[in-house]
Structure 1
């Protein structure tokens, strides 16, 4: 007479031999609990299919890789805020969904010049800080006073030589029935040399994109004992948007018909 363990072993072997499939949307098979599914791919001469994930900050290398792959149905998603793009080579479609595990990822890094622009824009700087920054990036900078251009050496000297002057003006009036007094204090910042009102910074914001000129409007803060300066990025939002649009356009031009691009990000799920 067969005991319980023997009956269970016979049942497991029968299930293992049949591997009965169930009619579910996601394909599954009925197998005994004691049976394991083993992936034999590691024992094969090669992988059962190609998949991988390229990550790079180089626009040229990213586009070169996508073009070299030449996979039909390649789809890419461009995140303009993050200046990134993710391409799926095996995403598939609604009728034939793919595994979505063969990808290429591009995340642009700002150039050193663009990093320093982002750091200085809107910051409050001492005379020394701004003058030294202008000296460090002199090859990319031009200075203007209104519509007139001025030498950068002169502009740096003017920034170094700013002084604060304070003046008071008082008035006193008397009538038959009243008397009034007023006082007005005026604080001015001036320099021995003509101060620039704007700096123009010509640079490439990201590798693979074109050169742009960014305008920094200078203002002097006189609230403290020493003058401070602020560089305001004129038209910041517009230029950021233009850079993002150029990113999408350059990707489209370089990839051509090798990938269909969409704006946004995509998560293939599990």
Structure 2
């Protein structure tokens, strides 16, 4: 099929990563976008239970945005029992509890539980129901745990790929160590406190020279405010160099202006009286 050509070089990120199981999926495009969502979160194993229009379907590859290998490796089952037979833990997404006595987790807690299960070299699977109605009671009876998404109670509608993406994201984040906050400095780096103090000394000296502190009594407080400003964030060395240049240029311009006024005044004084 033309839709299978190319695709990203993706594969299983871990040996026992969760299996995504689509139960009676209806549209090929939704299977394709599910593969795309899986790839975003490092999931690879896809199982299809009785897809309505059969399998394979070329439209799925077109919709996967390059996640072709997930679709190439997808396996087909006639029943949910067959699809989960080799798994050790099974989760099922459940938008609306239906009088079932079973543990219910958020996607985040479920993902953490799956990571612990994976560390024990056991395999997990997540059941997702048909697009129109979701899993029925018989499907959920095959699961150990239900997953319910804590969304806006007035509008909890998700399409299939969105539901899978939330779980894929939480799975990925459960083992991710990305810093929650980082300053992108590109080719420069964060300036040291000494470099900042050097700049601040230059700034203060220039302000003294230009007579900025017209109210001498307020000078200490104004200096503290300026110091707080420059110490508040992570100023880079490049930014300090720019600020040094700004201060130097402003001082030079001010000196030239004073000199020009003085010269003009001297010229007037040298003119003979009318």
Which one has the bigger strand percentage?
1
TM-score range, shorter chain: under 0.3
Q: TM-score normalised to the size of structure 2? A: 0.19
Which one has the bigger helix percentage?
2
Q: TM-score normalised to the size of structure 1? A: 0.20
